[in-house]
Structure 1
Amino acid sequence: MKKLESREDIELLVNSFYKKVIIDETISSFFNDIANVNWDKHLPKMYSFWETILFGQMSYKGNPMGVHFPINEIQAMEQKHFDRWVELWKTTVEENFTGENADTAIYKAENIAKLMAFKMDIARRL
């Protein structure tokens, strides 16, 4: 098992993760049916997002929270959806990588999911 230490590693991780996401019974509809994700645009954004999160490269420009609010208005993004997202992410990280950055990738994803789940819940109540 190798360490997570480069942009190429992030690309492998993100690509492997989204291969699971797009066929997952719990969360695939958010990506495939509601957001109609353009993968040619989305994947490079996710590479930059995780490169920024893990390596401080500041290559990501965007507002991940803002992108999710319109989706949440169409179909509620609930705790179970974020739990599944984290489960798939954690499995993918652990299948491919080891070490401090791999642990950080899981930790950061868990925190991102908690914050997003909280904010999506608040938005639904307003």
Structure 2
Amino acid sequence: MIKDIENREDLVMLMSKFYNKLLKDNTISYLFTDIAKINLEEHLPIITDFWNLSLFGKGNYKNNVLQLHLDLNKKSNLTPEHFKTWLATFNLTVDENFSGENSERIKTKALSISTVMQIKLHKSA
């Protein structure tokens, strides 16, 4: 049986697998590599901090995640297809590696974040 997401270490593994999948998908990878120009080694601890705070209420993530995406959207339009790909890849990665209450909670949070972000991006356009 697959275990649930229990701690930050589980989130580190999840984010690593998730971003490795995203970076192999040509429909979305360019947003990370060419537009945002993320350094995955630097980005993973930050995004792990975000999910650690979001899921467990722990950590010190301080960035404005919405503003980061509003800025990115100014450089390259974030489309509903990008969000569908992001969410489908996120859910698939969770389901392949974890099962349980926290796994379901993180998928629900991802859906909520994706939905709110799309609404905010649309309003700012």
Coarse TM-score class (shorter-chain normalised): over 0.9
Unaligned stretches of 5+ in structure 2? none
Letter in 2 for 1:80: E
Aligned counterpart, 1:51: 52
What's the offset of the Cα at 1:11? 0.4
Correspondence list, 1:6-21, <5 A: 6-21=7-22
Taking only aligned residues, the RMSD between alpha carbons, in angstroms, comes to 0.9
- CA deviations 1:49-87 (Å, max 9, x no partner) are 110011111421111111111211121111111111000
Return the alpha-carbon distance in structure 1 between the equivalents of residues 79 and 14 of structure 2: 24
Aligned counterpart, 1:68: 69
Aligned counterpart, 2:81: 80
Aligned counterpart, 2:99: 98
Residue 28 (1) aligns with residue 29 (2): yes
Q: Please say if residues 2 and 97 of structure 1, whose CA atoms lie closer than 8 Å, have aligned partners that are also in contact.
A: yes
- CA deviations 1:77-117 (Å, max 9, x no partner) are 11111111000000000000000000001000000000111
Residue 119 (1) aligns with residue 115 (2): no
What's the offset of the Cα at 1:118? 1.1
Q: Please say if residues 78 and 120 of structure 1, whose CA atoms lie closer than 8 Å, have aligned partners that are also in contact.
A: no
User: Once structures 1 and 2 are overlaid, which stretch shifts more, 81-90 or 38-47?
Assistant: 38-47
Return the alpha-carbon distance in structure 1 between the equivalents of residues 25 and 124 of structure 2: 25
Letter in 1 for 2:21: K
Letter in 1 for 2:35: I
Task: Count residues with an aligned counterpart.
Answer: 124
- CA deviations 1:5-34 (Å, max 9, x no partner) are 011100010000000111112211110110
* Identity %, equivalent residues: 38
Unaligned stretches of 5+ in structure 1? none
Q: Please say if residues 86 and 113 of structure 1, whose CA atoms lie closer than 8 Å, have aligned partners that are also in contact.
A: yes
